[in-house]
Amino acid sequence: MANAYVIGHITVKDAEKWDVYRSRVPATLTPWGAELVFRGKGATVLAGEHAHSDVVVIRFPSPEAANGWHSSAAYQALVPLRQQAAEVVLLAYEE
């Protein structure tokens, strides 16, 4: 089975709410066997245009796990907070 990666491109609008959101996400990942791979801020756009300053990469054991996490009640309960805290584009990729 192939791993799946969820990559988030992020622009924070409210740092306090973003911190609360970030602190709650890990508990939603655990049941899906997910692992936070990388979280960081962009230093330089090397080619093209990119509107967001932050990025997160989360590895899942399968595309089904990534989709299950995103549609889970636990994660969906955090979506309104995420929308208040930041502009986020989430993309899923298969390895």
Top-tier CATH class for 4-43+51-94: alpha beta
Residue 52 has a pLDDT of 93
Q: Which residues contact 48 (CB under 8 A, 6 or more apart)?
A: none
Residue 76 has a pLDDT of 98
Are 1 and 61 within 8 A, CB to CB?
yes
Domain ranges of the chain: 4-43+51-94
Quick count: other Cβ atoms within 10 Å of Cβ 58? 23
pTM of structure: 0.92
pLDDT one-digit tens code per residue, 40-67: 997 788 899 889 999 999 999 999 999 9
